[in-house]
């Protein structure tokens, strides 16, 4: 397993995800109640970028049609989203956020 560095923890605001481009992919890195979550930036419903969305408790709201996803699982929690978004387990080391980009997708 090769960990990919995304950003520093202190770069991620509490209410607004951070767009991170790394190794040819784009991620939305979010913070909720002090925990870090990493999702694919692309909404599964349409053109919305989740990094431009809003953290609402344990959910991330897409800015395009205000659909929502569970930050932990990527499962859709509010319409019009119906397909889960890819998530990765965040590893925090010395204030830096890493993922394993090859981590298997969680079952929906
Ligand atoms: S594009 Fe994200 S909810 Fe429609």
> Domain tally for the chain?
1
Distance of CA 21 from the midpoint of ligand 1 (Å): 20
Q: Whose CA is nearest to atom 1 of ligand 1?
A: 46
Whether 36 is in a domain gets the answer yes
Q: What is the CATH number of the domain that holds 8?
A: 2.102.10.10
Which whole-number Å values give the CA distances from 84 to 6, 18, 45, in the listed order?
A: 22, 20, 9
Write down the pLDDT at residue 43: 98
Distance of CA 45 from the midpoint of ligand 1 (Å): 5
Query: pLDDT at residue 107 above 90?
Result: no
Whether 45 is in a domain gets the answer yes
Distance of CA 43 from the midpoint of ligand 1 (Å): 6
Distance of CA 31 from the midpoint of ligand 1 (Å): 20
pLDDT tens digit string along 53-85? 999 999 999 999 999 999 999 999 999 999 999
pTM (2 d.p.): 0.96
Range of the domain at 93: 4-99
Write down the pLDDT at residue 22: 97
Which whole-number Å values give the CA distances from 72 to 10, 23, 37, 49, 79, in the listed order?
A: 20, 23, 7, 18, 18
Q: Kindly provide the residue ranges of all beta strands, DSSP E only, lying in 1-108, ordered along the sequence.
A: 4-8, 18-22, 25-32, 35-40, 54-56, 59-61, 68-70, 76-78, 87-88, 91-93, 96-99
| Helix (H), strand (E) counts: the chain | 0, 11
Q: CA-to-CA distance for 21 and 41, rounded, in angstroms? A: 9
Whether 41 is in a domain gets the answer yes
Give ligand 1 pocket residues (Cβ under 6 A). 43, 45-48, 62, 64-65, 67, 80-81
């Amino acid at each position: 397993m090769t960990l990919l560095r995304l950003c520093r923890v202190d770069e991620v605001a509490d209410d607004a995800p951070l767009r991170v481009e790394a190794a040819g992919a784009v991620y939305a890195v979010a913070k909720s109640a002090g925990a870090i979550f990493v999702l694919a930036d692309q909404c599964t419903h349409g053109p919305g970028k989740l990094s431009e969305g809003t953290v609402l408790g344990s959910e991330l709201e897409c800015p395009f049609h205000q659909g929502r996803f569970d930050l932990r699982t990527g499962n859709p929690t509010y319409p019009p989203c119906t397909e889960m978004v890819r998530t990765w387990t965040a590893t925090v080391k010395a204030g830096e956020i890493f993922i394993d980009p090859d981590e298997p997708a969680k079952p929906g």
